[in-house]
Amino acid sequence: MRFKFLLLAAISTAAIATPAWAAPGDPIALGDGVTLDPILDANLRYEHVAQDGVANDADAVTIRLRLGAELKAAGFSLLAEGEGTGAIADNYNDTLPGNGAEPYPTVADPENIELNRLQVAYAGKGFGITVGRQRIVQDNARFVGNVGWRQNEQTFDAVRAQATLGPVKLDAAYAISQRTIFGTDSPNEHFDGDLVLLNAAADIKPVKLGAFAYLIDYDTRLAFSSQTYGLRAAAGFKLSGGVSLDIAGTFATQSDLGGNPTPYTAEYYNVEAGLGLKGFTLKAGYEELGSDGGVAAFQTPLATLHAFNGWADLFLTTPAAGLRDYSIGASYKFAKVKALPGLNAAVTWHSFESDFGGANYGSEWDASLGFKLGKVGLMAKYASYNADGFGADTDRMWLQATYSM
């Protein structure tokens, strides 16, 4: 696999090499109104995981490379992109069953080479349509996302239409396949079905309003077939003394759909409030993924899950008794540190409990530090989950360098 990955990188790099007269990342003019945009995205990451009940700590050093190009002419475009992930150090459970039982915690970055995106699109004034294997992220990726944190990206085989009508934005997609993060050698490489993803938003300053409907009818992953309908509102205000206030709230209801063997109805609530002053932000939130009597809970199988409910990834699937997540966090952007542009630091504390039954799950601390050196983004992250009735004590640490053009 490592040899195949390096070979792919060499061939693809040669195929999209930028001419000497073009700066890296600039479109290449091929003719009258015709351009070719190279795509290059590389991510090198070290991930360490220590988890109670697992014999050894995990140490994963992986590198991800996305290479491709987008041809544009007269509003039409054709995009092709390959993706490869290789393991430099592979002392981790990569989720692939063919590797047998591995005495390490899970790091869901298996070695993999695949076609990440292949799409045809048209963009006109206030309207666009995309057909093919594509990236779909709606809102903040809480319900539909590309799982951007993992090395292998989630994409969809879909047709997607987007339109802007004054302050209103409409986004509608129909997908027949969810291409997961688990890679081509996994039995969970893709989940097929009928996936209807509808989203509408209106920006009526200072308030943004949204509505969404997600109908997920899987062919085989029946326990996750569901219909979800929801509303979202957010607003930002400038207060005296340079203080800013941001508030947001989301409500949704979910029930079984299609061949789901478990009839249920569950609700979702999210409330967030943040105060900002001169680069400093203090934020508090409450998120509830409800349960129907402990039988089944609100699920978000298309989401970018790592971004929510703690970076230790204990709640990628909502427990049947549901989840309540109380959080408070602080972040700071160091605008005056010119030597490290984009320098930022953040820390968040979570307290988790069940929605049904009054059980305590545990608590978690998350922290991050990031900045850029030229076009390379550098990041360090840490997550520490303290179990109290759910899961096991888990510590995760990441060091990452990213380059893209």
Per-residue pLDDT of 47-88, as tens digits, reads 999 999 999 999 999 999 999 999 999 999 999 999 999 999
In a domain, 270, yes or no: yes
In a domain, 397, yes or no: yes
Q: What is the pLDDT of residue 98?
A: 82
Q: What is the pLDDT of residue 14?
A: 37
pLDDT above 90: residue 26: no
In a domain, 293, yes or no: yes
Q: Looking at residue 275, which CATH number applies to its domain? A: 2.40.160.10
Q: What is the pLDDT of residue 99?
A: 80
Question: Which residues in 147-180 are b (16+ Cβ under 10 Å) and which e?
Answer: bebbbbbbbbbbbbebeeeeeebebbbebebbbb
In a domain, 327, yes or no: yes
Q: What is the pLDDT of residue 21?
A: 39
The two structure tokens encoding residue 21: 């007269």
pLDDT above 90: residue 10: no
Q: Is 380 exposed, middle or buried (0-12, 13-18, 19+ CB in 10 A)?
A: middle
pLDDT above 70: residue 392: yes
Alpha carbons 102 and 183: distance in angstroms, whole number? 18
Alpha carbons 71 and 38: distance in angstroms, whole number? 9
In a domain, 84, yes or no: no
Torsions phi, psi for 215 (to 5 deg): -110, 110
In a domain, 156, yes or no: no
Threshold 0.85, pTM exceeds: yes
Range of the structural domain that residue 240 is part of: 232-405
pLDDT above 50: residue 221: yes
In a domain, 184, yes or no: no
In a domain, 34, yes or no: no
Say how many domains are in the chain: 1
Query: How many beta carbons lie within 10 A of that of residue 135, not counting itself?
Result: 19
Instruction: Give me the count of residues in the chain.
Output: 405
Q: Encode pLDDT of 143-180 as tens digits.
A: 999 999 999 999 999 999 999 999 999 999 999 999 99
CB 381 within 8 A of CB 397: yes
Q: Encode pLDDT of 345-359 as tens digits.
A: 999 999 999 999 999
